[in-house]
């Protein structure tokens, strides 16, 4: 197969264990610390995979998560215990991202995933049936369709449940037996699937969904909760955005835009100021718009801007490439957010040194 053919067949978004296969392999080789049963790496190596570092041979492990080291250490060591891990935080704080990378590093497979929605049924967490076989032969192991959680239990792997609190409460409670007794009864067959060592579960939940379907206290006790914060400093947030945009740009074949860092810094500044309701220098109070303005949204604004610059500009990321994206992220509610944005534009952006081009670009798309 030719290389270009390979490139055309490449997955649009490879799983973490494939995208970072070389790092995982290098870590496994360098790792001489004890590994919990069925773990691909030791807890130390899993944390290094997430936080980045350099191995003795010189191999560089890129940071996946930028933030307090302790958060990742607590998350990893939780997975080595019999309690499950709940990643909690506002949207865009890398809950899904961290969950995927943890599963990839611990079990070598991040795909045993249940996506939680209001329509998630018990079968998605327990098991379903292949109806043709069920009708032909009656209930049997062959007719049973295991859920990702069931597979993780029988193979000693990491299961993932996304957006746990969006799942109706009675369906969530299916997890109680699984997490406390480590078993999944199959009454139709008079059997059970017992979790083997190595099984654990990572759930994510959105802070803002609180009250939608609150976790029952019985279920919450089965989890160790780790809260993922928004990036503490603007510099950390710029680093996250630049790194991720670089990766996404490469997978979309966008040319690298090294001069884009100033523009990224401006997007991050605008988002942070509006989110926190005060300007960077602490002098001017601002109203916050209704959107989240998370790091994840900054990433998509900049990626969109890069595509504009690459296809319709000269390849250099400029204010005019990100202005429309910023407006779209900030103005969610056309009435109230529009007013907040205009005030910010006139009171802050317009007066700021070196921001004239940005002011003009924003005025143009707002008009
Ligand atoms: N602290 C962080 N470190 C690294 N990447 C981050 C961080 N915060 C956000 N991101 C990036 O934001 C993007 C969205 O994160 P995601 O996991 O979908 O958020 P959530 O599930 O919390 O809503 C990911 O691509 C991730 O790279
Ligand atoms: Mg998510």
pLDDT at 6 over 70: no
Q: DSSP string covering 300-313, please?
A: HHHHHHHHHHHHHS
User: Nearest-5° angle of CA 16, CA 249, CA 62?
Assistant: 45
Which residue carries 């296969």 as its tokens?
21
Mean pLDDT of 193-203: 97
- Regarding the beta carbon of 116 and ligand 1, being less than 6 Å apart is answered no
- pLDDT above 90 covers what percent of the chain? 80
Mean pLDDT of 95-117: 97
CA of 95 to the centre of ligand 1 (A): 6
In whole angstroms, what is the distance from residue 145 CA to residue 224 CA? 29
Give 253's pLDDT tier (boundaries 50, 70, 90): confident
Interval 37-53: pLDDT, tens: 999 999 999 999 999 99
Residue 53, classed as helix, strand or coil, is strand
What pLDDT does residue 142 have? 94
Mean pLDDT of 58-85: 96
pLDDT at 250 over 50: yes
CA of 95 to the centre of ligand 2 (A): 5
Which is more confident, 218 or 74?
Answer: 74
Nearest CA to 111 out of 13, 41, 227 is that of 13
Q: Which ligand is nearest to the CA of 233?
A: 1
Cα maximum dimension of the chain: 76
Nearest CA to 222 out of 111, 72, 81 is that of 81
- Regarding the beta carbon of 240 and ligand 1, being less than 6 Å apart is answered yes
Topology at the third CATH level for domain 2-227: Rossmann fold (3.40.50)
CA of 92 to the centre of ligand 1 (A): 5
In whole angstroms, what is the distance from residue 286 CA to residue 270 CA? 11
- Among protein residues, the one with the nearest Cα to ligand 1's atom 15 is 94
What pLDDT does residue 119 have? 94
Contacts with 75 (C-beta within 8 Å, 6 or more apart), sequence order: 85, 87, 98, 102, 226
- Regarding the beta carbon of 231 and ligand 1, being less than 6 Å apart is answered yes
Interval 130-150: pLDDT, tens: 999 999 999 999 999 999 999
Nearest ligand 1 atom to the CA of 91 is: 23
Give 257's pLDDT tier (boundaries 50, 70, 90): low
CA of 302 to the centre of ligand 1 (A): 14
What pLDDT does residue 1 have? 43
Strands (E), the chain: 53-54, 60-61, 84-89, 113-115, 127-129, 144-146, 158-162, 183-186, 191-194, 200-206, 223-227
**Test site for ligand 1: of 94, 300, 303, most ligand atoms within 8 A of the Cβ:** 94
In whole angstroms, what is the distance from residue 258 CA to residue 107 CA? 36
- Regarding the beta carbon of 67 and ligand 1, being less than 6 Å apart is answered yes
Mean pLDDT of 105-130: 96
Residue 85, classed as helix, strand or coil, is strand
Give 4's pLDDT tier (boundaries 50, 70, 90): low
DSSP state of 38: T
Q: Which ligand is nearest to the CA of 242?
A: 1
Question: What residues sit around ligand 2, an ion, with C-beta below 5 angstroms?
Answer: 95-96
CA of 356 to the centre of ligand 1 (A): 31
pLDDT at 258 over 70: no
What pLDDT does residue 95 have? 97
pLDDT at 200 over 60: yes
What pLDDT does residue 367 have? 65
What pLDDT does residue 2 have? 46
- Among protein residues, the one with the nearest Cα to ligand 1's atom 16 is 94
Q: DSSP string covering 166-229, please?
A: GS-HHHHTHHHHHHHT-EEEEGGGTEEEEPPTT-EEEEEEEGGGTTSSPPPHHHHTTEEEEEPP
In whole angstroms, what is the distance from residue 299 CA to residue 267 CA? 9
Return mean pLDDT, the chain. Answer: 92
**Dihedrals phi, psi of 288, to nearest 5 degrees:** -95, 135
Segments making up each domain of the chain, as ranges: 2-227, 234-366
CA of 135 to the centre of ligand 2 (A): 38
What pLDDT does residue 106 have? 98
CA of 99 to the centre of ligand 1 (A): 10
Q: In sequence order, what are the beta bridge partners of 87?
A: 204, 226
Q: In sequence order, what are the beta bridge partners of 159?
A: 201
């Amino acid at each position: 197969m030719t290389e270009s053919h390979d490139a055309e067949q490449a997955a649009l978004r490879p799983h973490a264990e494939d995208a970072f296969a070389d790092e995982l392999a290098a870590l496994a080789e360098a790792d001489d610390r004890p590994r919990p049963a069925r773990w691909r790496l030791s807890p130390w190596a899993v944390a290094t995979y997430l936080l980045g570092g350099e191995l003795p041979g010189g191999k560089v492990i890129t940071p996946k998560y930028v933030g307090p080291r302790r958060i990742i250490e607590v998350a990893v060591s939780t997975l080595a215990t019999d309690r499950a891990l709940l990643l909690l935080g506002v949207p865009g704080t890398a809950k899904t991202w961290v969950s995927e990378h943890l599963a990839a590093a611990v079990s070598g497979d991040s795909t045993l995933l249940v996506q939680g929605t209001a329509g998630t049924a018990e079968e998605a967490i327990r098991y379903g049936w292949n109806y043709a076989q069920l009708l032909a032969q009656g209930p049997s192991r062959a007719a049973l369709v295991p859920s990702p959680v069931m597979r993780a239990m029988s193979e000693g792997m990491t299961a993932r449940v996304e957006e746990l609190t969006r799942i109706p409460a009675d369906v969530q409670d299916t997890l109680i037996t699984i997490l406390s007794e480590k078993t999944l009864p199959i009454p139709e067959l008079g059997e059970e699937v017992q979790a083997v060592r190595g099984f654990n579960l990572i759930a994510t939940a959105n802070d803002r969904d609180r009250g939608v379907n609150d976790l029952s206290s019985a279920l919450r006790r089965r989890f160790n909760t780790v809260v993922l914060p928004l990036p503490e400093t603007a510099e950390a947030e710029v680093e996250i955005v630049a790194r991720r945009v670089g990766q996404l740009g490469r997978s979309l074949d966008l040319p690298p835009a090294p001069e884009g860092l100033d523009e990224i810094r401006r997007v991050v500044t605008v988002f942070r100021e509006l989110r926190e309701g005060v300007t960077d220098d602490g002098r001017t109070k601002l109203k916050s718009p209704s959107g989240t303005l998370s790091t994840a949204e900054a990433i998509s604004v900049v990626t969109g801007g890069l595509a504009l610059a690459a296809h319709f500009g000269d390849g250099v990321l400029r204010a005019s490439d990100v202005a429309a994206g910023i407006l779209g992220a900030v103005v969610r509610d056309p009435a109230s957010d529009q007013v907040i944005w205009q005030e910010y534009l006139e009171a802050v952006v317009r007066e700021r040194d070196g921001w004239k081009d940005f002011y003009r670009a924003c005025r143009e798309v707002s008009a």
